[in-house]
């Protein structure tokens, strides 16, 4: 650091306000010293910022990879459940075929008669209901066209107004 005082043959005087050139040089030297101290701090801050950025990159990459892993595990679970479902459906079908083959109508009739006292109904106990409807035709094209025109009228603001007026008819 430079000397702040100047000496003349007769007296000493302070150099701050009288010699402007010397004050500027002094200011530059102080600024240089501050820069020398600030550079390692700035480098440390930059290094720390870079380290944080790299860490954030790895965290995001880990999050993406873990998401893909979770999706893959879910797909594996779905496929295993689907295969298990298909096996159960096939098993149920095989059991139903066995049940259908095991039913013998003659045996069923004998068991119903012997155990439960069931008999075939007599002719007088049976009656039939005629569910056939008579043949007739109906013209529907007029209805369809009126429904179409009604739908077109119900669209938009004019349709709302028309619908409101139809309510009060």
pTM for this model (two decimals)? 0.36
Is the CA virtual torsion 156, 158, 161, 165 positive or negative?
Answer: negative
User: What backbone torsions phi and psi does residue 131 show, to the nearest 5 degrees?
Assistant: -105, 5
pLDDT of residue 96: 94
Q: pLDDT-based confidence at 124, cuts 50/70/90?
A: confident
Answer yes or no: are the C-beta atoms of 15 and 5 closer than 8 Å. yes
CA distance 150 to 79: 50
Which range among 11-20, 94-103, 160-169 shows the weakest confidence by mean pLDDT? 11-20
Nearest to 155 by CA among 166, 145, 147, 163: 163
Answer yes or no: are the C-beta atoms of 88 and 81 closer than 8 Å. no
pLDDT, tens digit (0-9, with 9 covering 90-100), for 23-76? 556 666 666 665 555 566 666 677 788 889 999 999 999 999 999 999 999 999
Cα 63 from chain centroid (whole Å):
16
| Residue scoring higher pLDDT (70 or 153) | 70
């Amino acid at each position: 650091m430079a000397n702040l005082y100047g000496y003349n043959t007769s007296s000493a005087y302070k150099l701050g306000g009288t010699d402007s050139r010397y004050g500027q040089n002094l200011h530059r030297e102080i600024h240089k010293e501050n820069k020398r101290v600030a550079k390692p701090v700035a480098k440390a801050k930059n290094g720390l910022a870079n380290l944080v950025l790299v860490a954030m990159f790895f965290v995001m990459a880990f999050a993406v990879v873990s998401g893909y892993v979770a999706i893959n595990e879910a797909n594996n679970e779905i496929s295993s459940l689907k295969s298990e479902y298909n096996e159960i459906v096939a098993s149920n079908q095989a059991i139903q075929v066995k049940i259908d083959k095991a039913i013998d109508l003659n045996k069923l009739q004998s068991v119903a008669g012997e155990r439960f006292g069931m008999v075939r109904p007599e002719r007088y106990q049976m009656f039939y209901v005629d569910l056939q409807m008579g043949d007739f035709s109906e013209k529907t094209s007029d209805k369809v066209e009126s429904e179409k025109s009604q739908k077109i009228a119900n669209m938009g603001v004019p349709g709302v107004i028309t619908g409101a007026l139809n309510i009060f008819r």
